[in-house]
Amino acid sequence: MITHLAMVMDGNRRWAKQRSMQPWLGHRQGVQVIKDVINFCLEKNIKHLSLYTFSVENFKRDPQELSYLFETLVEESENHLDFLFEKEVKVKFIGDRSLFPENVLQKSIKIEQSTQDLSKLQVNLLFCYGGQQEILAGVKKIVSQVKQGLLDENDLSEKKFQENLWTYGIPEPDLIIRTGGMHRLSNFLLFQAAYSELYFLDCLWPDINLEHLNNAYKHFENTKRNFGI
């Protein structure tokens, strides 16, 4: 049974390029697919869905594309609030909030507060996120706690380390699906993915459909997870 499904939504820009469209229109199309994935998770009784929305490295992209991407995120978040309430979906933004553009930061706070009591599914939007950056931030917090005498270094454990990560309180992903034909994690949930099953799709994110999702789910069901035993 899958408790936590995580997804690397790769291929929006290539999808747009194939259609001679501006790259941000690929992102807009990609947002529409998220509703189908949410419905799939609700049908399968999956409690957590994590979506790699924007990485720290993505800031290297063209400023115009980034501007449209951020505006799309804000607009689509507002447009889909009714859908979130109807489906009882809680939304949580995970990442380095000091890097959030102001319009996205304000919208993220509003959405989190509005949906905090919804409980059928928690959607984690990994925004301004990087696995290496998350680990480094956790290390810095722990070093600070040791310096202040709040934590003895001999008491440091895996559990204590997890408590200092941005994803604290969220179970580790059972299955990670990546679209776009690339076979790598790209700095996504590096600490949490230690025993996740990985499933790669050649289709671009806007083209993912129910058949793809069901095939990935069946693959997971047929996989024996022994966690090193």
pTM of the predicted model over 0.85: yes
**Do 139 and 166 contact (CB within 8 A), yes or no?**
no
Where b means 16+ CB within 10 Å and e means fewer, 120-159 reads ebbbbbbbbbbbebbbeebeeebeebeeeeebeeeeeeee
Domain ranges of the chain: 4-130+172-221
Residue with tokens 């950056």: 133
pLDDT tens per residue, the chain (229 residues)? 999 999 999 999 999 999 999 888 888 899 989 999 999 999 999 999 999 999 999 999 888 888 888 888 888 888 889 999 999 999 999 999 999 999 899 999 999 999 999 999 999 999 999 999 999 999 999 999 999 999 998 889 999 999 999 999 999 999 999 999 999 999 999 999 999 999 999 999 999 999 999 999 999 999 877 766 6
Which CATH number is associated with domain 4-130+172-221? Answer: 3.40.1180.10
pLDDT for 227 equals 67
pLDDT for 108 equals 93
Amino acid in the structure at residue 226: N
Q: Which of 58, 96, 187, 207 is catalytic?
A: 58
**Do 196 and 2 contact (CB within 8 A), yes or no?**
no
Comparing CA positions, the residue from 100, 107, 151 lying closest to residue 128 is: 100
**Do 130 and 57 contact (CB within 8 A), yes or no?**
yes
pLDDT for 67 equals 87
pLDDT for 215 equals 98
Note if 174 is an active site residue.
Answer: no
pLDDT for 68 equals 83
